[in-house]
A and B are shown apart, each in its own frame.
Chain A
């Protein structure tokens, strides 16, 4: 049974989301306040995305015993989507194809499987990408024989893997962290982390749209 702290956290986030939704709804239905409708539309889309994110996260947290695995799988999927977006925008060449297959189908799942195995595999999971994948990618690209912009291409693939998979995989890894005197409270730590990131996004958006133009 969730304790008071968790409930108040969840309640707080729900209240914030409801407030934001109400504001967005009112802005949409007041035509004559001099705010660009496109901005309001973008704001409402963002709120919808936050609802979705919170629902999915909450569902993953509340699954009980399976919640650790569910959260790891969820972040694994987020990594996959993020990496897909990143590589799409990266000007890779045909010679990178096999290396990219390895990145998507071997390294990304392997990293999350190691995270899912808990702290016991920390030794491998902390070096799999920064050491082994980083050596493997240039080797595989070199084997493909396309030397044009070689360093630039491999560096970009490495950067994508680093940011979208390696760094992100530390978020669900928080759950397997055992801090003295705070045992069993790791989900709240992850929740706090996600909340801070989300708030940063909200504030950044609000500041840019309210004051940057003035």
Chain B
């Protein structure tokens, strides 16, 4: 109920039109990875999924931002965010292991492999988390997603959003090839997201 409300709010504020290119909504376990330009990214991407998939899909978000204040904490609970502490990462408690433990064999993930929100027009280099996710769970479908225009809705450092229309594009799933080096894979996955921009 609150989830539907939040999705509706995202619709009014960011008016996302959604395209599925070479990919269909499915309940199988997936990792959606997208470019990151705004705090709204996680909510908008999550809202762009069909209602039946939303309870099964968990956006990975920064704990320091989403635990600040009652409203944010409530919203994070509603879109069942998986909050990761960026300041407190230990070797034996790596975020990747935690994500895999949390999703079990049912849930899907939404990750932003750039790490932080980037301000430029170009999509930044991907961090290695996506590679380790794919390596530890080769059965997960990796779905590239491109989010357009959200940096104009709520840019970095701004408090009040401007309601504009955004565009969410889901691309064809990919997997880690056998023996594919980390750098190659991260480059390939970054290009998969970039490519969706112009489709």
Contacts and interface: CB of A to CB of B under 8 A. Distances in A.
Interface of A: 80, 84-85, 87-88, 92, 94, 97-98, 100-101, 104-105
Contacts of A97: 152, 155, 158, 162
A161 to B, nearest CB: 13
A94 B162 contact: no
Contacts of A98: 158, 160
Nearest to B165: A88
Interface in B138-175: 149, 152, 155, 158, 160, 162-165
A104 B161 CA distance: 10
A92 B160 contact: no
B15 interface: yes
A126 to B, nearest CB: 26
Nearest to B161: A101
Contacts of B158: 97-98
B164 A87 contact: yes
Contacts of A80: 163
Contacts of B162: 87, 97, 100-101, 104
A100 B15 CA distance: 16
23 contacts: A80-B163, A84-B15, A84-B163, A84-B165, A85-B165, A87-B164, A88-B149, A88-B164, A88-B165, A92-B152, A94-B152, A94-B155, A97-B152, A97-B155, A97-B158, A97-B162, A98-B158, A98-B160, A100-B162, A101-B162, A104-B162, A104-B163, A105-B160
Nearest to B159: A101
Nearest to A92: B152
Residue with the greatest number of chain A CB neighbours at <10 A, chosen from B15, B149, B160, B162: B162
Contacts of A100: 162
Given A92-B152, A94-B155, A84 B164 contact: yes
B177 to A, nearest CB: 38
A137 to B, nearest CB: 13
A88 to B, nearest CB: 4
Nearest to A91: B152
Chain B interface size, as a band, is 10 to 19
A85 to B, nearest CB: 7
A105 B155 CA distance: 17
A104 B164 CA distance: 10
A101 B159 CA distance: 10
Given A94-B152, A97-B152, A97-B155, 5 more contacts: A80-B163, A87-B162, A88-B164, A97-B158, A100-B162
- Residue of B149, B163, B165 contacting most chain A CB atoms (<10 Å): B163
B160 to A, nearest CB: 5
Contacts of A92: 152
A98 B160 CA distance: 8
Interface string B96-130: 00000000000000000000000000000000000
Contacts of A94: 152, 155
Q: Shortest 3 CB-CB distances between A and B: which pairs?
A: A88-B165, A100-B162, A88-B164
A104 B160 CA distance: 11
A100 B13 CA distance: 13
A97 to B, nearest CB: 6
A112 to B, nearest CB: 16
A94 B153 CA distance: 10
A63 to B, nearest CB: 23
Nearest to A85: B165
Contacts of B160: 98, 101, 105
Contacts of B163: 80, 84, 104
Contacts of B155: 94, 97
A77 to B, nearest CB: 10
